Structure 1
Amino acid sequence: MNRKMTCLYLLPPSQGGIKDHVITLIKGLDKNKYRAIVVAPPSKELEQALLIFEHSFIPLGWDNKTLNKIKLIKRISKIINSYQVDIMHTHGYKIDIIGKAALHLSNKQVKVITTLHNFYPKKFNNPIVRFGMDLLYRRSDHIITVSNALKNHINLKRKEKVSVIYNGVDVNQSLSPNERYSVSEKRAKIIGTVARLSSEKGIDILIRAFSQLKHKFSYLELIIVGSGPREEALRQLVKSLNLTESIYFTGWQQETTKCLEKIDIFVMPSRSEGLSIATIEAMMAKKPIVATNTGGLVELIDHRETGILVEPNNVEQLGEGIEQLLVDSDLRGKTSINAQSKAVDRFTSELMVANTKRIYEKVMKKVNL
């Protein structure tokens, strides 16, 4: 009997959409052919998902202290040795560094696949740092980026080592039975977003745009689904604008599709974005969408065809984009239908899993699967 392929997944602390991506990927693996081991900070969601699909979750916390990173490297090295790992699949540059150090320490022959979900921080504009990252990724057997924008951003010389595999969502879970894109004056209209509350997501820009719109459209409300390091600052901003009765923070929600059912217009106001899973879910749920013209969002939204695109970090443009959808029912209807059609064709979990498995088989072609 052929041995199962053992895949070790390494996730960073600030997981955001990465956690959803990995859960979706593992759900799609044939448990008779693949054994998944996920190493990540403690997460009930990850633990439950892996238990259901008979895979392993090893919770390991880490921070930026050098001593703790060394301990983490040693722990991961032991895991590589203990589980006879075939593929180490890292998600993000920080955990990629740690994973490769652990692999070096283990002295095992393991294939390395690196998935990049986000753009480099601004500090990486330093040529020396970029050169170091290029050296790091040369040690990967294959690199996956979640958008063409990210592939162009890392700009590796060996293009054959880089594949674009879009994030995907479950069609059956994401198609919403409650389409609410007809706007009338009879009830509050819900503007909504689903995002990690961090600076790059631009939620402060959305709040300020909403503040301006509220003067023209008194029936508007804003729902912000998510949690993160900027939550308290954002709450203070809402308070300073006297909008606590119109803007609601729900915190992190496991079933975001239920939140989407309550939303009339979905907004993704990111300053930087690899490829937004929440926006794909909104497309699949047939929601009118306003998004910023940045990163992978441009590959999701075709202006005035599958949504409205506006420049990032621009309060006025974001407000105008939302207003276009509020007042134009034909535009809402057309973009909603087109967005769902595009999502079903190009951004499903089935496509994401199948394309990732092809990469696994490519790097393990000498192994009898």
Structure 2
Amino acid sequence: MRFVIVSSCPVDWGGSEELWARAAHFLIQSGHQVHVFKTNVNPHHPRIIALRDAGCTVTDLYQLLPVLRRLRNRLVPYRWLNGQDGTLQLLKKALQVIRPHLTIVAQGNNFDGIKFADLCRHQNLPYVLIAQKAVHCLYPYDGDRPMIQRAYQSAERCFFVSQHNVELTRWQLSLPLPNAKVVFNPVNVSFDASEVSSFPSFADGVRLACVARLDIFDKGQDILLEVLTKPKWRARQWQITFFGAGPHRQAVEELTHFLNIADRTHFAGHVPNPAVIWQTHHALILPSRSEGLPLAMVETMLCSRPSIITNVGGVAELLTDNETGFLAATPTADAIDDALERAWQRLADWPQMGARARQYALDRVPADAIEQFGHQLLQLVNHTESAPNLVLQ
């Protein structure tokens, strides 16, 4: 079988790309062809190297936009980028040659890859959509709605990472979406209990980990820092480590100095194995403004640690307030302060809450998420008409 994967992620690599990338390896190992088309390909990124080494072709959809690639201007609206004639023409010609049995359009949110899906629809090629996030403020404009609605209605399947994202997309498009299905992203920690670190001592104070892309628009690190400037938090013994990279690293770091809490915050960059974080940290703090289902939270639960996190996206579908963690009702300073205060008053319960969180995740998160997703893709191909037997020249 021939599969095409189109990723609309506008950066070198995003967490939203792990699902399709690992699915690509699964499909190749199962004997199928996979051709990847991605916006902004960094040929030196380890994930891209691994895909090519496995046998994927990887094509940069922005190769006809050299100025844009050099500038890496993240502020240009996605809808303008995806509408570039050169980008769509490149993909159109490739699809005409490959004639894939199935195209997977992988989106960071629920609308940013729609032009690619619409291209498949016009060519009568079966496709699926993946939406890693849905955000209340990203309502489609009236001029775009018909195309988006057709793209979702014509997809063989619409995959989401939380039921919340399914319901919000239904609401935004005024469509029932009977072809919607919730899938899990793969995790980067072991399910083996022997690899879970024992709970660290509080002797040197509370160590919180904020594991998230340094992107204030989505992850809300600025809200958390606002909370920690309150007199009661300045008087308490805590440290926060920011794990991750992103476009707001400098902004967040400068803000810690501006607020005079730089001595209590650390920036550790990206950590390939998140389990290492929980050898020294007690809980996850995630003040997100928007989410799908945060992988950092799932991995934290599997590592037997509680989470303090805003109730956005599908968070409440996996985390139970006051039992496996603490939910902030909204992504605001007052709500996050409330959740953090409740957590602080129950420090002694954190080890038991972490153990409950792990069991809760084990009962619900599949260890073979990629295999399940890969088999669903293969089943969809078996239910669609076979494409002409053409290969990439």
Give me the TM-score of the superposition, normalised by structure 1.
Answer: 0.85
Q: Contact 2:128–2:159 (CA<8 Å) still a contact in 1?
A: yes
Name the Cα RMSD after superposition. Answer: 3.0
The answer to whether 1:251 aligns with 2:269 is yes
The answer to whether 1:205 aligns with 2:223 is yes
Measure the CA separation in 2 of the matches of 1:257 and 1:280: 12
Structure 1 residue 277: deviation in Å? 1.0
Residue 18 of structure 2, aligned match among 1, 20, 42:
20
Matches within 5 A, 1:26-175: 26-29=24-27, 31-40=29-38, 41-43=40-42, 44-61=45-62, 64=76, 69-92=84-107, 93=110, 95-103=112-120, 107=123, 109-120=124-135, 122-124=137-139, 129-130=144-145, 132-155=147-170, 157-170=175-188, 172=190
Q: Contact 1:167–1:349 (CA<8 Å) still a contact in 2?
A: no
Cα deviations by residue, 1:216-261 (Å, 9 ceiling, x for unpaired): 323x111111222333322222111111221122334443333343
Distance 1:225 1:338, change over 3 A: same
Read off the aligned partner of 1:10 and give its amino acid letter.
S
Read off the aligned partner of 2:29 and give its amino acid letter.
K
Q: Give 3-state SS (helix, strand or coil) of 2:29's partner.
A: coil
> Which residue of the partner structure matches residue 217 of structure 1?
236
Once the two structures are overlaid, the 10-residue window that deviates more, 306-315 or 350-359, is 350-359
Measure the CA separation in 2 of the matches of 1:67 and 1:240: 38
Q: Contact 1:173–1:257 (CA<8 Å) still a contact in 2?
A: no
Q: Contact 2:61–2:87 (CA<8 Å) still a contact in 1?
A: yes
Measure the CA separation in 2 of the matches of 1:121 and 1:75: 32
Read off the aligned partner of 1:35 and give its amino acid letter.
Q
Q: Give 3-state SS (helix, strand or coil) of 1:172's partner.
A: coil
Distance 1:78 1:261, change over 3 A: farther
Q: Contact 2:126–2:384 (CA<8 Å) still a contact in 1?
A: no
Structure 1 residue 365: deviation in Å? 1.5
Distance 1:324 1:336, change over 3 A: same
Once the two structures are overlaid, the 10-residue window that deviates more, 40-49 or 209-218, is 209-218
Q: Percent identity?
A: 18
Q: Contact 2:101–2:386 (CA<8 Å) still a contact in 1?
A: no
Read off the aligned partner of 2:151 and give its amino acid letter.
L
Q: Give 3-state SS (helix, strand or coil) of 1:267's partner.
A: strand
The answer to whether 1:8 aligns with 2:23 is no
Q: Contact 1:146–1:165 (CA<8 Å) still a contact in 2?
A: yes
Matches within 5 A, 1:219-234: 220-234=238-252
Structure 1 residue 102: deviation in Å? 4.0
Structure 1 residue 323: deviation in Å? 4.1
Q: Contact 1:201–1:269 (CA<8 Å) still a contact in 2?
A: yes
Measure the CA separation in 2 of the matches of 1:170 and 1:146: 16
Structure 1 residue 356: deviation in Å? 4.9
> Which residue of the partner structure matches residue 195 of structure 1?
212
Structure 1 residue 351: deviation in Å? 3.1
Q: Give 3-state SS (helix, strand or coil) of 1:303's partner.
A: coil
Cα deviations by residue, 1:30-55 (Å, 9 ceiling, x for unpaired): 62333322222224132133145333
Matches within 5 A, 1:285-300: 285-300=303-318
Q: Contact 1:11–1:38 (CA<8 Å) still a contact in 2?
A: no
Measure the CA separation in 1 of the matches of 2:183 and 2:24: 15
Structure 1 residue 81: deviation in Å? 3.0
Measure the CA separation in 2 of the matches of 1:123 and 1:8: 24
